Amino acid sequence: MAYSSIAKPTDYFNTVLWTGNGSTMTITGVGFNADLVWVKLRSGSDDNRLFDQVRGINKYLEANNTDTEVTDAILSTNSDGYNLASAGEVTANGGTFVGWNWKANGAGSSNSDGTIASTVSVNTTAGFSIVLYTGTGSAGTVTHGLSTAPRWVLNKGRDDNHSWIYGHVSVTSNFSYVGVFNSTDAFVSDNNSYNSTAPTSSVFTVNNAGGTNNDGQGYVAYCFHSVEGFSRIDRYLGNGNASGPYVFCGFEPQFLMLKCSDAAGAWNIYDNARNKLNPKD
């Protein structure tokens, strides 16, 4: 077990489950006032919806498509959960739901350290930040607020229909290859999203791609780096065997998300709330 400066991981990330009643609901058990909430209907094929405090917790973006931002579903959050509207996206009668929750730092504050001004909500302890900015259409830098360079940066335009674009340091350290979050495709070469420039301990770089920096377009970016004993953003090499490779994390993950980077393949998410025992299938 790796050493971690985080004594209680559930202060920064937690998973909750609920069954919809077709009306307003209050969900408890999160353990903190969540700044990023990812909701998925488990009992059907409905969309993955991401809410955050910086855009406004009542607004969501759908991770599996390119749709623009929608206002609906979560009414408010509190120190142990959230209040849900009577909306099929989150309270469909009899539907079973999962909510994955991350802690940043509330609505955030303005920052002009990069060449593109931003609003940043950051949790340096947990290695996670939420960044809002308006695109300029030309190469520039955006402050992420973390104390270490992010290993994963995930971008989405809020009011256009561009795809979710992300750079992941385990594929190319300078983000010269990018992935599409709402797709099963492999990574592709792309100099226009992150300008083929590695994130630093203070900023990430964007060029002029529509997914990261259209002039006048509003964007959100979710930024993550590894924290020893708490989180790991990395890669492994498959071996084709039934038992698969052993991947050392240094801790038992609550949440595991996998995607093949060099071939088409679905995203897979596992957690210790929907499946408390091993194997987690």
Q: Give pLDDT tens digits for 77-135.
A: 999 999 999 988 899 999 999 999 999 999 999 999 999 999 999 999 999 999 999 99
**Closest among 128, 90, 154 to 13, alpha carbons compared:** 128
Q: How far apart are CA 13 and CA 256, in angstroms?
A: 12
Q: How far apart are CA 17 and CA 29, in angstroms?
A: 9
The span from the CA of 42 to the CA of 98, in Å, is: 7
Q: Please choose, from the candidates 92, 82, 85, the residue with its C-alpha nearest in 3D space to the C-alpha of residue 70.
A: 85
CA distance 223 to 36: 12
Pairing of strands 218-224, 268-271: unpaired
Contact (CB, 8 A) for 263 and 269: no
Tens-digit pLDDT profile for the chain (281 aa)? 557 789 999 999 999 999 999 999 999 999 999 999 999 999 988 889 999 999 999 999 999 999 999 998 888 999 999 999 998 889 999 999 999 999 999 999 999 999 999 999 999 999 999 999 999 999 999 999 999 999 999 999 998 899 999 999 988 999 999 999 999 999 999 999 999 999 999 999 999 999 999 999 999 999 999 999 999 999 999 999 988 899 999 999 999 999 999 999 999 999 999 988 888 88
Which residues make beta-bridge pairs with 118? 111, 133
CA distances from 173 to 57, 149, 168, 196, 263 (A): 32, 11, 7, 9, 19
Bridge partner list, 129:
122, 223
Local structure of residue 280 (DSSP, 8 states) = -
Could you give the CA distance from residue 55 to residue 205 in angstroms, rounded to a whole number?
Answer: 21
Closest CA to 211 of 220, 224, 223, 202: 220
Structure tokens at 34: 């969540």
